[in-house]
Chain A
Amino acid sequence: MKTKGKLRLKRYLPLYFLFLPGGLYLLINNYIPLGGLVIAFKQYNVRDGLWGSPFVGLKNFKFLFATGDALLITRNTILYNVVFITLNTVIGIVFAIFICDAVSNRLKKVYQSVILFPYLMSAVILGYIVYAFLGTENGIVNNTILPLLGKEPIMWYQEAGYWPFILTFANMWKGTGYGCLLYISAINGIDTSLFEAAALDGASRWQRIKAITLPSLVPTIITTTLMHIGRIFYSDFGLFYQVPRNSGALFRTTNVIDTYVYRGLMEQSNVGMSAAAGFYQSIIGFLLVVLANYVVRKISEENALF
């Protein structure tokens, strides 16, 4: 027994060593900061630091909810996510069907490449691209397009009302291709003999889509949607920070939980409120992910995350 135990140790020990560096990294980057969530219940000051600052109970949360900030950023975060999830799913599917039916293989490849490309840009670049169009002084919209239509220039970065549309379009422009890839691979996985049989029976294109393509996409649609709902309290910090250029006049329609937490921490040194908002996001986010996964498990177990 003893020698066998030694052998086992000799065999497995190196494996634990291999795991160790990455394990330590996760400890520092992910696990220890979880303990730091207590900061949300403290009156943070730099001198006493994270652990020494005094506890103040729920004071930070009371402030957060009393100012109405919590309501606004929660509303913005959820509404944008609902719109993004809906549009990305519908357009992703439509484009995936169109791409799979492209008139030539070469075109199919071109479409696939082009729609993925913006997904690989950083948020900073996306911000510059939007600015090239909407910049007040130099933007092509104010300088060329609106004058052609005989309209007055618009101060885009001062008018909050336009931004739900601008951000939605920017998000579509950047993200459609990525979502589309998932649906393309799902369509490619459908048995082609089904389509051939349907065509022989005289089914129209639309009938084939309705009876074969869409039903086979249902599992993918359900799992991706539920997973997105699990992340409905999180948003793309880059999109909401870079594209509106951090313009204060737009906060009513551009401030989401992530940007709020950032500004509280880095720009206004309002660490308490920032930490409270972060805590609120972490906990509800976690519960939603677990819940979403539970639902996915019920519907199709092999698609569940855990």
Chain B
Amino acid sequence: MKEKPYSAYQIVSNLIMILWAVIIILPFVLLLMSSITEENALIRYGYSFFPKKLSLESYAYILNSGEKILRAYGVSILVTAVGVILNVALSAMMAYPLSVKDLPGKRLLSFYVFFTMLFNGGIVPSYMMWSSLGIKDTIFAQILPNLLVSAWNVMIIRTYFTTSIPDSLYEAAEIDGASQFVIFWKVVIPLGKPILITIGIFSGLSYWNDWTNGLYYLQKNKDLYNVQNLLNQMVTNISYLTKSSYSGMAEAAAKIPATGIQMAIAFVAILPVMLVFPFLQKYYTKGLTVGSVKG
């Protein structure tokens, strides 16, 4: 362990890692700096690490007159919260029976879940299915398709339940006359907390970051756009914000700091991920090493 004067290998490898870390961090710095650059400076000199003139007008706009923007954050928060709760509840409810040793038909049920990981029909039939159920242009479009239950998550939870909850606990509960619902609620859920939190984080991230459901299923009702949809919309149509519901405000529209706002919204969309990151990382790394998910 006493290799005090660092070897050439250690110096080089650490320098490479520091360089890579800088490459990863700099783009976020550029995003932040661009969002606090004054609009005219942005237009004249472009995005820059060292803006000629700073201004918080983009953020002020988001807070004051960005009705669309605030609503989009509202949708993101609501959809993420509801999505995570439903996802964790449904996944745990599915995983528990699959972890009960002598459940008749268990192999069949496991295969039923597992097969969805191997084969899927792709977006065309899936789009037609969900459209025919009438979720288009409703809030369900942001919650239901694809993100609600993932076979992978169910298998991970199942593995955790089988390996980390001792059989003797179930047996004791059954001798006490507890029903399966009670066992699920009083034994399985509390003891499964670490894995359920992990899955909740996975699912929360996918809801917060999702933009495809809005792209497919919200063609008319853009009021239900989440932040990612809003950002996506501004890529194709930079004047989207200015075409607001209060009409005939061409003058006001001209003053909207559109270039800076894009970056400000993007930065605010990253912010929650940054805030939960340290917490998230701990569980994320654990979730990865939970082990095999064999069927």
Contacts and interface: CB of A to CB of B under 8 A. Distances in A.
Contacts of A116: 281, 284
B69 interface: no
A168 B159 CA distance: 35
Contacts of B116: 26, 30-31
B64 interface: no
B90 A21 contact: yes
A113 B151 contact: no
Interface of B: 6-7, 9-10, 13-14, 16-17, 20-21, 23-25, 27-28, 30-31, 34, 42-43, 45-49, 90-91, 93-94, 96-98, 100, 103-104, 109, 112-114, 116-129, 132-133, 144-146, 148-149, 151, 154, 179-181, 184, 205, 208-212, 215-216, 228, 231-232, 235-236, 259, 262-263, 266, 269-270, 273, 277-278, 280-281, 284-285, 288-289, 292-295
Interface of A: 8, 11-12, 14-16, 18-19, 21-23, 25-26, 28-37, 39-40, 49-50, 95, 97-99, 101-103, 107, 110-118, 120-125, 127-129, 131-133, 135, 137-140, 142-144, 173, 176, 181-182, 185, 205-206, 237-238, 242, 245-246, 261-262, 265-266, 271, 274-275, 278-279, 281-282, 285-286, 289-290, 302-306
A138 B122 contact: no
Given A98-B14, A122-B269, A12 B103 contact: yes
Contacts of B96: 15, 18
B292 A290 contact: no
Contacts of B24: 114-115, 117-118, 173
**Interface of chain A, helix or strand or loop or mixed?**
helix
Contacts of A282: 119-122
A237 B213 CA distance: 13
B292 to A, nearest CB: 7
Contact of A135 (B47, B232, B281, B288): B47
* Residue among A33, A176, A271 with the highest chain B CB neighbour number at 10 A: A33
B110 to A, nearest CB: 10
The 8 closest A-B pairs by CB, nearest first: A36-B125, A143-B46, A122-B209, A22-B94, A278-B122, A14-B180, A33-B125, A15-B97
B88 to A, nearest CB: 11
Given A19-B93, A39-B124, A133 B285 contact: no
B49 to A, nearest CB: 8
A258 to B, nearest CB: 8
A19 B228 CA distance: 33
19 contacts: A15-B100, A22-B91, A29-B144, A30-B116, A36-B126, A36-B128, A50-B132, A103-B6, A103-B10, A125-B231, A132-B34, A132-B263, A185-B289, A205-B9, A266-B215, A275-B125, A285-B119, A289-B119, A306-B295
Given A26-B149, A173-B23, A262-B123, 7 more contacts: A21-B93, A29-B144, A36-B128, A129-B27, A138-B42, A206-B9, A265-B127
Contact of A115 (B21, B119, B209): B21
A140 B277 contact: no
Contact of B270 (A34, A115, A125, A176): A125
B14 A102 contact: yes
Given A18-B96, A140-B48, A278 B277 contact: no
A116 B278 CA distance: 11
A120 B270 CA distance: 9
Given A282-B122, A289-B118, A19 B94 contact: yes
Contacts of B208: 122
Contact of A16 (B14, B97, B215, B288): B97
A138 B128 contact: no
Given A111-B21, A115-B24, A306-B294, A101 B125 contact: no
Given A34-B121, A274-B124, A303 B21 contact: no
Contacts of A181: 285, 288
Nearest to B110: A306
A28 B144 CA distance: 10
Contact of A124 (B123, B154, B232, B284): B232
Nearest to B127: A265
A152 to B, nearest CB: 15
Nearest to A35: B125
Nearest to B210: A122
B179 A14 contact: yes
B89 to A, nearest CB: 8
Contact of B46 (A15, A33, A129, A142): A142
A137 B45 CA distance: 9
Given A101-B13, A305-B294, A120 B273 contact: yes
A114 B25 contact: yes
Contacts of A274: 124
B275 to A, nearest CB: 12
* Residue among A49, A121, A281 with the highest chain B CB neighbour number at 10 A: A121
A22 B154 contact: yes
Given A14-B180, A125-B269, A286-B118, A37 B125 contact: yes
Contacts of B295: 305-306
A39 to B, nearest CB: 6
Given A33-B121, A37-B125, A102-B14, A133 B212 contact: no
Contacts of A16: 97
A123 B211 contact: yes
Nearest to B37: A138
Contacts of B14: 98, 102-103, 107
A13 to B, nearest CB: 8
